[in-house]
Amino acid sequence: MHGKFITFEGIDGSGKSTQLRMLANELRIRGFNVLPTCEPGGTPLGRRLREAFLETEETVSPLAELLLFAADRAQHVNFLVKPAVAEGKIVISDRFADATFAYQGAGRGFSETMVNQVIELATGGLKPDLTLFFDLPVAIALTRTDSRTDAGEQKNRMDKENAGFYERVRESYLQIAANEPDRFRVIDANGSTSEIQTRVVEIVAEFLGNE
Ligand code: ADP
Ligand code: TYD
């Protein structure tokens, strides 16, 4: 079987990482060869970039941020995603290019044309076969990320943005989802972990079954 490239998107705190872990386990039980990964930080270079520009107190210019996410992605696509898909793996990435469109485009204010050019350059035109968007009201997502911080996790620079920023990001994701209904599935992320897992497994199993 030819591999597949599946991505998870959503604002911070929407539950993507939790669901990605659960889906990867479930698919393995069902006999699929799964490779979970993430952006930024899916490769050794990407992890170093992530630390340098995300986990820092230093002011990072919006343009540097846009290009560093792109650099992380170019490395990820070439050395991890493409080879694994070619080997027949189901690659599931916690975020990909739609995050740049939503965060650097709608969030930071770069034009769609510029953001799309940078995405094209970094991905060489690679698109996910399926994208799940975990949709959650901003206020609930912020409560979740705050409790993650209370539990001891460090906030990165993006976690410190205000509600208005995340509202723009969420609207932008909903717009991409509406524009690309064949690739996107919007999941109501305002439920229990197990309710959402049932829905995620249903969608992905149907997608893999139909391929
Ligand atoms: P993301 O990767 O989208 O930022 P996480 O999976 O890290 O989100 O979840 C953010 C926080 O919310 C974590 O503390 C996690 O334990 C919690 N969480 C995840 N899913 C749910 C859920 N369905 N209901 C309540 N809390 C959740
Ligand atoms: P991370 O801790 O991985 O996010 P999450 O809270 O979803 O687990 O941090 C990644 C941050 O980087 C997150 O705030 C989204 C942001 N980001 C962008 O702004 N642009 C991008 O292209 C990507 C991949 C991520």
Number of compact structural domains in the chain: 1
Can you tell me which atom of ligand 1 is nearest the CA of 191? 23
Single-letter amino acid code for the residue at 119: I
Ligand 2 neighbours, Cβ below 6 Å, are 12, 16-17, 39-40, 69, 95, 99-100, 103-104, 156, 158
Q: Check if the beta carbon of residue 158 is closer than 8 Å to that of residue 54.
A: yes
d(Cα 31, Cα 50) in Å, to the nearest integer? 32
179 is written with which tokens? 């524009």
Please indicate whether residue 14, judged by its CB atom, sits closer than 6 Å to ligand 1: yes
Region for 145 from its dihedrals, namely left if φ exceeds 0, alpha if ψ lies in -120 to 50, beta otherwise? alpha
- What is the per-residue pLDDT across 125-152, written as a single tens digit (0 to 9) for each? 999 999 999 999 999 999 999 887 777 7
CA distance 128 to 181: 13
Q: Cα separation of 146 and 130, whole Å?
A: 30
- In which domain, by residue range, is 56 found? 4-209
* pLDDT band with cut points at 50, 70 and 90 for residue 1: low
CATH number at residue 106: 3.40.50.300
- Determine which residue's CA is closest to atom 14 belonging to ligand 2: 158
* pTM (two decimals): 0.97
